[in-house]
Amino acid sequence: MKHTHILGFDIGGTGIKGAIVDINTGSLMTDRIKVPTPDPATPDSVGQAVNTITRQLGYKGIIGCGFPAIIKKGVAMSASNIDKSWIHVNVENLLSKYTECPVYVANDADVAGMAEQAFGFAANQPGTVIVLTIGTGIGSALFYNGILIPNTEFGHLKFHKSIAEKYTSNLARKEKNLNWAEFGNRLNEYLQHLEFIFSPNLFILGGGVSKKFDLYKDYFKLNTTIVPAKFQNEAGIIGAALYAHRIKG
């Protein structure tokens, strides 16, 4: 039997969010529950937090999870904005153990992109589409004719003597006390760099700052169409549930 209501998790550098999703519509069937990401965000502490939300929702069934790392066959090959002890951990096995449910894990930005590709502005878009999640870092999802090319990590491109997410993420905006004009100009620089490399048809901006899109959109000087994500900060939860459905639904 196909599951249509699936628990999705979005594990980020500052918060862990979960909700049950109707994967036919992309709508949340429960309130979104959010807890702070533990500090340090070790495998055990994150596993306990995921289990807490699962039990709070009274859920039993398959679970999808977006995780801030390069994920290959369920294993974390990097650790972005979480504890480095995650590297080489089988995230699927660990979270399955804590929740006592089958858990299916993919890169957090990739699953956010899946939500936009299935139900949002990337749906039926030909050519190259880049979805960026701008929060503690910068996640990325790259689609070509609707097909995901996973684990792109465009936030880690070399940029201004460091990497892009150190220059223009939401965390960088807060740490450097940037106003919206300064942030918009920095983000425009980065988007122009991606535009030069990939010649996309569409940029979609997700993550926390997508809700503030109107405050910085006038600073973009791009040839590419750019829109805020339809699902804003809920895309990761929706896409995670969708991913689990596609793998095991």
List the helix and strand counts (H, then E) for the chain: 8, 15
Smallest Cα–Cα separation from 203: which of 216, 192, 214?
Answer: 192
What residues of the chain score a pLDDT lower than 70? 1-2, 249
pLDDT given for residue 1 in this prediction: 42
Rg of the chain, C-alpha, whole Å: 17
Q: Domains (ranges, CATH) in the chain? A: 5-108+234-248 (3.30.420.40), 121-229 (3.30.420.40)
Angle at CA of residue 90, ends 170 and 171, nearest 5°: 5
pLDDT given for residue 249 in this prediction: 61
pLDDT given for residue 125 in this prediction: 93
